[in-house]
Amino acid sequence: MKRSFLFPGQGAQYPGMCKDFYDKSETVRELFSIADKVTGRDLKSLLFDGTVEDLKQTENTQIAITLMSLSIRRYLISNGIEADGAAGFSLGEFSAMVEAGILTEEQVLPMVIERGEIMARVGKENPALAGGSAMAAVIGMSSADVSSNVDSIKDAYAANFNAPTQTVISGTSAGVEAASAKLKEAGARRIIPLKVSGPFHTPLLNDAMKYFVEYLSGVTFKDPIKPMYSNVTGKRVGSGVEAKELSGLQIVSPVKWIDIETNILSEGFDSIIEVGPGKVLTGFWKSASKEITCKPTGSVEVTDTIS
C-alpha cells in the first residue's frame, strides 16, 4: 500500500472544530500547547468557541484549518497510519510541507498566521477591492470553457481547477458577478458562492505575495523527504528552494488540483486520506478515480474507522 495524505484549504472551517480530537488525544493537546506558544494566541478558544463569522476571517481561517489538519495528522500517526506522500489544496499545502519534512509544525503555525494577516490586510488596502471580493464554484462546465469565458471579464479569474467539471472563479465582487452571469448564459449548471473573504489565487493579491516572500526570506525550507505536489505546477516539488519559491507564487497562481490528482495516481498511490475538516477533497477525488476511494477524517468517529 502506498498512501498519500491530502490536506484541505479554506472553506472547510466550522465552529467547534477539532474539539473531539483534542479531548481524546494527548498528542493533539500537545500540539495545541505548542501552537499557543509559537503564535502567542489562544487557539483553543478560536477553534472551539469562534463563531462562523470569526472563522470566516482569513487571518483566523488559515490558522484554524492548519491546526486542525496537523492535529489529525498527529492523531493518525499515533494510531500507526502514516503517509508516503502528500499534497495540500491552497492553504493545505503548508500542512503537506510538514508531512514532507520541508517545514516543521513550529515553522508553519506562525507562518500561516502571517500569511492570513497579510492577505487580509492587502484585501482591505487594495483600491481595486473597495467594492469587495468574491469566489464562486462553477459546476457543470469544463475548465477550458470557464477560462475562455472569464478571460474577457475585468477582475475575474479562473482560480482553482478542482475537477473536470468544477472550476472556482475569483476576483472582485463586480468581476465575479459579471463572470457568473456570462457563465450561466454559456451553460454552467450551477454557480455556488464560497464562504471565503478574499480574491485568492489571483493577481489582485500581488502585494500579498510580495510581503509574504519578504517574510519567507528568513525561513529555511528543507528538501522533501517524500513526494509532495505543488499547487502552482501540479508536479512534485524537487527541493526546499523550489518549495520556498512556490509558496509565494501560490498566493496569485491558480490551483492545479486536477494535475496533482493525476500525478498522485500515476506514481502508484493507492490509499488516499483527506486529513483535515470537511470532505471537499474527498468529493474532488471521486472524479479522479473510481477504483480508489479518498477517506475523510473530519471527526474522531470517522477517523477511527480508517486502517
Residues 107 and 144 both lie in one domain? no
Cite the beta strand spans of the chain per DSSP E.
3-7, 85-88, 133-139, 156-163, 166-172, 190-193, 228-229, 271-274, 294-295
Residues 135 and 252 both lie in one domain? no
Residues 211 and 98 both lie in one domain? yes
- Domain end, chosen from 193, 223, 248, is at 193
pLDDT tens digit sequence for 154-173: 999 999 999 999 999 999 99
Indicate which CATH number applies to the domain containing 144: 3.30.70.250
Q: Is residue 245 part of a domain?
A: yes
Q: Is residue 280 part of a domain?
A: yes
Q: Report the C-alpha gap between 125 and 116 in whole angstroms.
A: 14
Q: Report the C-alpha gap between 249 and 297 in whole angstroms.
A: 29
Q: Is residue 278 part of a domain?
A: yes
Q: Which residues pair with 236 in a beta bridge?
A: 229
Nearest Cα residue to 276 out of 296, 295, 256: 296
- Domain end, chosen from 140, 174, 193, is at 193
Residues 120 and 16 both lie in one domain? yes
Residues 282 and 226 both lie in one domain? yes
Q: Is residue 56 part of a domain?
A: yes
Residues 108 and 162 both lie in one domain? no
Residues 63 and 163 both lie in one domain? no
Task: Tally the domains of the chain.
Answer: 2
Look at residue 228 and give its three-state secondary structure.
strand
Measured CA to CA in angstroms, residue 268 lies from 19, 121, 247, 261, 290 at distances of 34, 41, 26, 11, 15
pLDDT at 286 (0 to 100): 95
Q: At what angle do helices 206-216 and 240-249 cross, to 10 degrees?
A: 150
Sign of CA dihedral 259, 262, 266, 271: positive
pLDDT(265) > 80: yes
Q: Report the C-alpha gap between 28 and 176 in whole angstroms.
A: 39
Q: Which three cell numbers stand for residue 307?
A: 486502517
The answer to whether 111 touches 94, Cβ cutoff 8 Å, is: yes
Q: Is residue 134 part of a domain?
A: yes
Residues 23 and 172 both lie in one domain? no
Residues 120 and 132 both lie in one domain? no
Surface-to-core class of residue 172, CB atoms within 10 Å of its CB (0-12 exposed, 13-18 middle, 19+ buried) = buried
Sign of CA dihedral 121, 124, 128, 132: positive
| % the chain with pLDDT above 70 | 100
Nearest Cα residue to 66 out of 87, 29, 95: 95
201 in active site: yes
Q: Is residue 198 part of a domain?
A: no
The answer to whether 276 touches 65, Cβ cutoff 8 Å, is: yes
Residues 221 and 246 both lie in one domain? yes
Q: Report the C-alpha gap between 46 and 41 in whole angstroms.
A: 9
Residues 49 and 116 both lie in one domain? yes
Count the residues in the chain. 307
Q: Which residues pair with 191 in a beta bridge?
A: 138
Full domain range(s) for residue 102: 3-125+203-303
Q: Report the C-alpha gap between 294 and 291 in whole angstroms.
A: 10
- Domain end, chosen from 193, 216, 236, is at 193
Look at residue 254 and give its three-state secondary structure.
coil
pLDDT tens digit sequence for 21-72: 999 999 999 999 999 999 999 999 999 999 999 998 888 999 999 999 999 9
Residues 244 and 273 both lie in one domain? yes
pLDDT at 207 (0 to 100): 96
90 in active site: yes
Buried b (16+ CB within 10 A) or exposed e, 142-151: ebebbeebbe
Q: Report the C-alpha gap between 54 and 80 in whole angstroms.
A: 34
Catalytically annotated residue among 95, 201, 247, 253: 201
The predicted model scores a pTM of 0.95
The answer to whether 1 touches 271, Cβ cutoff 8 Å, is: yes
pLDDT at 59 (0 to 100): 86
pLDDT(195) > 80: no
pLDDT at 272 (0 to 100): 98
Catalytically annotated residue among 4, 69, 90, 247: 90
pLDDT at 58 (0 to 100): 82
Q: Is residue 212 part of a domain?
A: yes
Indicate which CATH number applies to the domain containing 78: 3.40.366.10
Q: Report the C-alpha gap between 99 and 101 in whole angstroms.
A: 6
Q: Is residue 119 part of a domain?
A: yes
